[in-house]
């Protein structure tokens, strides 16, 4: 029995094109490289990873000040990554294997080299002046307000344009000018961009900083609350955002953003089976849930960054998932992920004295057995660690190079990623942690991911079934039941370093079978519910029989 849409029951694999596979030997990954690796992603057999969709970070023409998130042409391909024909081949190859293609849409800002911005900055009377956010100095020549760039090193979110004597807004780098979404022409132009890619056959969009597109039209100051914090010298935006305090900010999450998203949704709904997942970087579940609108009229999915930011504690993850479930509108579906191109890798982030790799196995099981759509960042499936990037190789303004190092395909010097020197150094340990070494090793991370993904495919309970957490489980476990007609699964994840014995409540079932464990030494087979032991840093999936009584 199947139910629902592909974006609800599939697993999405996130590719950072610069770092996945380099087909032309220039040290930077490209679209043809991705196409050459599609069989690895899904060849229709459990020998492959088995993912159902890929999300590609930007590959559009760009000066690369933010590695493609500074778009200079929304409807082309940067020569570094190939051509539109390469893109079409990638889509055709993916679709032939049943893999959907999600592209990154960056509607909040363009490159300062985008023709729209060049026109806008040319004069105060330019017909495109109002496509961006321009404002006068405050008395004394200060920027229009106190808003800061999301990148601390970039400082204020305003840059002064000497020729026209006004400031323009950039929520990120000065080379990324924010579009003015109050202007209907901007909305129409972006709608054309969306249609361009839909007509080319893409299955969906990941919408970059979806919560930023609308902001206070009066450009009022953000409140200053954290005076004296050395990490937050301005005492505003960053501290508030990271703490998720619910303080009202004026430069994001403005109510009008929901109208913009409804517009996107109308366009998508005019096509068959397309979707949008938003990067809604709000650390407040209530606000996040609103990005689903009624459940039918805004985003199909919103990435849950609160989940990603949890410490390695079972009750932390459980309470986020449970609380969010209660907040989502009917029929809405979460999107879980533990890593992306902006965040430290799981095996590094959760490491405490060397247990990172073992915890990453438990994290993999959590991600792939929770309700919601799992998003998997390239390299996580082989247990890649954050790369060590020496000072003279640092290229990103915000410290994100370590999570962007080349995909590790084999033990050769370029890791099978490139025949040339890669744009970022290959991660330490690549001679052990790589696809070739792990492919045929049943104990490897790659084998675990393949098992989890293919098991999920065969399980209605995991793909679209109900979710219920078991708060009475022993303290070091995050345990939950997933259920669909005829199938009940118990997932028990041990976040601790000690074995846990758990005599299951007879109400949960009269028999059980161990289906999967993150411990490669543990084999599937019958298991008496009264005798469940979950090992240190182990996760298990049990099939439960009928409840007693």
Q: Is 208 a catalytic residue?
A: yes
CB contact at 8 A, 109 and 65: no
Q: How far is the CB of 212 from ligand GLC (least distance, A)?
A: 9
| Residue closer to ligand GLC, measured from CB, 404 or 488 | 404
The one among 43, 130, 315, 342 contacting ligand GLC by CB under 6 A: 342
Q: How far is the CB of 178 from ligand GLC (least distance, A)?
A: 10
Nearest alpha-carbon partner for 254 in 203, 318, 211: 211
Q: Does 106 bind ligand GLC (CB under 6 A)?
A: yes
Q: Is 279 a catalytic residue?
A: yes
Q: Does 172 bind ligand GLC (CB under 6 A)?
A: yes
Q: How far is the CB of 157 from ligand GLC (least distance, A)?
A: 12
| Residue closer to ligand GLC, measured from CB, 151 or 409 | 151
User: Which phi and psi angles does 330 have, rounded to 5°?
Assistant: -55, 140
Count Cβ neighbours within 10 Å for each residue of 404-435 and write b for 16 or more, e otherwise.
bbbbbbeebebbbbbeeebbbbbbeebeebbb
CB contact at 8 A, 364 and 449: yes
The three-class DSSP label of residue 374 is strand
Q: Does 277 bind ligand GLC (CB under 6 A)?
A: no
Q: Does 208 bind ligand GLC (CB under 6 A)?
A: yes
Please report where in the chains the tokens 């970039």 appear, as a residue: 154
CB contact at 8 A, 425 and 415: no
First to last CA, the chain: 27
CB contact at 8 A, 288 and 264: no
Out of 30, 112, 208, 253, the active site residue is 208
User: Which phi and psi angles does 23 have, rounded to 5°?
Assistant: -90, -20
The one among 78, 279, 381, 537 contacting ligand GLC by CB under 6 A: 279
Q: How far is the CB of 279 from ligand GLC (least distance, A)?
A: 6
* 242-249, long-range: CB < 8 A, 24+ apart: 242/283, 243/283, 244/282, 244/283, 244/284, 244/306, 246/284, 246/286, 247/223, 248/223, 249/222, 249/223
| Residue closer to ligand GLC, measured from CB, 281 or 455 | 281
The one among 209, 260, 446, 479 contacting ligand GLC by CB under 6 A: 209
Nearest alpha-carbon partner for 512 in 537, 493, 491: 491
Residue 14 gets which letter from DSSP? E
Nearest alpha-carbon partner for 357 in 442, 446, 425, 450: 446
Q: Does 426 bind ligand GLC (CB under 6 A)?
A: no
Count of chain residues binding ligand GLC (CB under 6 A): 9
Q: How far is the CB of 154 from ligand GLC (least distance, A)?
A: 11
Q: How far is the CB of 209 from ligand GLC (least distance, A)?
A: 5
Can you tell me the distance from the alpha carbon of 511 to that of 521, in angstroms, rounded to the nearest whole number? 22
Q: How far is the CB of 458 from ligand GLC (least distance, A)?
A: 33
Find the DSSP H helices in 68-114: 84-96
Q: Does 380 bind ligand GLC (CB under 6 A)?
A: no
| Residue closer to ligand GLC, measured from CB, 206 or 451 | 206
Nearest alpha-carbon partner for 176 in 122, 106, 251: 106
Residue 213 gets which letter from DSSP? S
Pairing of the two strands 12-15 and 373-377? parallel
| Residue closer to ligand GLC, measured from CB, 343 or 361 | 343
189 CB burial (10 A radius; 0-12, 13-18, 19+): middle
For 184, the enclosing helix (H) or strand (E) is: helix 184-199
Q: Does 37 bind ligand GLC (CB under 6 A)?
A: no
The mark string for 121-140 relative to ligand GLC (x by CB under 6 A, - otherwise) is --------------------
| Residue closer to ligand GLC, measured from CB, 172 or 478 | 172
The one among 30, 52, 66, 386 contacting ligand GLC by CB under 6 A: 66
Q: Find the residue with minimal CB distance to ligand GLC.
A: 69
Q: How far is the CB of 441 from ligand GLC (least distance, A)?
A: 33
| Residue closer to ligand GLC, measured from CB, 66 or 380 | 66
Q: Does 241 bind ligand GLC (CB under 6 A)?
A: no
Q: Does 341 bind ligand GLC (CB under 6 A)?
A: yes
The one among 69, 350, 378, 502 contacting ligand GLC by CB under 6 A: 69
Out of 70, 104, 232, 279, the active site residue is 279
Nearest alpha-carbon partner for 359 in 548, 184, 497: 497
Can you tell me the distance from the alpha carbon of 6 to that of 76, in angstroms, rounded to the nearest whole number? 27
**Bridge partners of residue 512, in order along the sequence:** 544
Q: How far is the CB of 69 from ligand GLC (least distance, A)?
A: 3
Find the DSSP H helices in 378-508: 435-439, 445-457, 460-464
Summarize as ranges the residues that interact with ligand GLC (CB under 6 A): 66, 69, 106, 172, 208-209, 279, 341-342
Instruction: Supply the residues annotated as catalytic.
Output: 208, 279
């Amino acid at each position: 029995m199947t139910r629902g849409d592909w974006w609800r029951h599939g697993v999405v694999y996130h590719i950072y094109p610069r770092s996945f596979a380099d087909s032309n030997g220039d040290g930077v990954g490209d679209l043809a490289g991705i196409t050459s690796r599609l069989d690895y992603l899904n060849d229709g057999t459990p020998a492959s990873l088995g993912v159902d969709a890929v999300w590609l970070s930007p590959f559009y023409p760009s000066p690369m000040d933010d590695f493609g998130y500074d778009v200079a042409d929304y409807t082309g391909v940067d020569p570094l990554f190939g051509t539109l024909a390469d893109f079409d081949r990638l889509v055709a190859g993916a679709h032939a294997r049943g893999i959907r293609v999600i592209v990154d849409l960056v509607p909040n800002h363009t490159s300062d080299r985008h023709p729209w911005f060049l026109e806008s900055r040319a004069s105060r009377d330019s017909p495109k002046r109002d496509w961006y956010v321009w404002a006068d100095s405050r008395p004394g020549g200060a920027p229009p307000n106190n808003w800061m760039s999301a990148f601390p090193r970039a400082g204020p979110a305003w840059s002064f344009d000497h020729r026209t004597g006004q400031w323009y807004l950039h929520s990120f780098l000065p080379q990324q000018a924010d579009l003015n979404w109050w202007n209907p022409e901007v909305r129409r132009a972006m709608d054309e961009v969306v249609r361009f890619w839909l007509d080319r056959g893409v299955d969906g969009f990941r919408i970059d900083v979806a919560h930023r597109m609308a902001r206070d039209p009066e450009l009022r100051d953000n409140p200053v609350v954290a005076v004296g914090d050395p990490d937050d010298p301005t005492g505003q935006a960053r501290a508030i955002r990271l703490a998720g305090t619910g303080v009202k900010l004026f430069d994001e999450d403005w109510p009008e953003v929901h109208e913009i998203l409804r517009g996107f949704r109308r366009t998508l709904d005019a096509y068959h089976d397309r979707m949008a997942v938003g990067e809604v970087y709000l650390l407040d579940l209530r606000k996040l849930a609103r990005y689903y609108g009624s459940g039918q009229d805004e985003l199909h999915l919103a990435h849950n960054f609160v989940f990603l930011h949890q410490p390695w504690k079972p009750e932390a993850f459980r309470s986020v998932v449970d609380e969010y479930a209660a907040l989502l509108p009917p029929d809405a579906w979460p999107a879980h992920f533990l890593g992306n191109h902006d965040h430290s890798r799981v095996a590094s982030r959760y490491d405490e004295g060397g247990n990172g790799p073992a915890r990453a196995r438990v994290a993999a099981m959590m991600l792939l057995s929770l309700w919601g759509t799992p998003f998997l960042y390239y390299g996580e499936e082989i247990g890649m660690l954050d790369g060590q990037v020496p000072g003279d190789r640092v290229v990103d303004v915000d410290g994100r190079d370590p999570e962007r190092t080349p995909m590790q395909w084999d033990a050769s010097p370029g890791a099978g990623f490139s025949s040339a020197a890669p744009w970022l150094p290959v991660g330490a340990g690549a001679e052990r942690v790589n696809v070739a070494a792990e492919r045929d090793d049943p104990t490897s991370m790659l084998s675990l991911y393949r098992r989890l993904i293919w098991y999920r495919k065969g399980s209605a309970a995991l793909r679209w079934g109900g979710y219920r957490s078991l708060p009475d489980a022993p303290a070091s476990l995050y345990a939950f039941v997933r259920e669909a007609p005829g199938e009940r699964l118990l997932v028990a994840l041990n976040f601790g370093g000690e074995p846990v014995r758990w005599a299951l409540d007879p109400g949960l079932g009269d028999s059980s079978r161990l289906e999967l464990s993150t411990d490669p030494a543990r084999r599937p087979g019958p298991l008496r519910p009264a005798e469940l032991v979950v090992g240190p840093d182990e996760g298990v999936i049990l099939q439960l029989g009928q409840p007693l009584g």
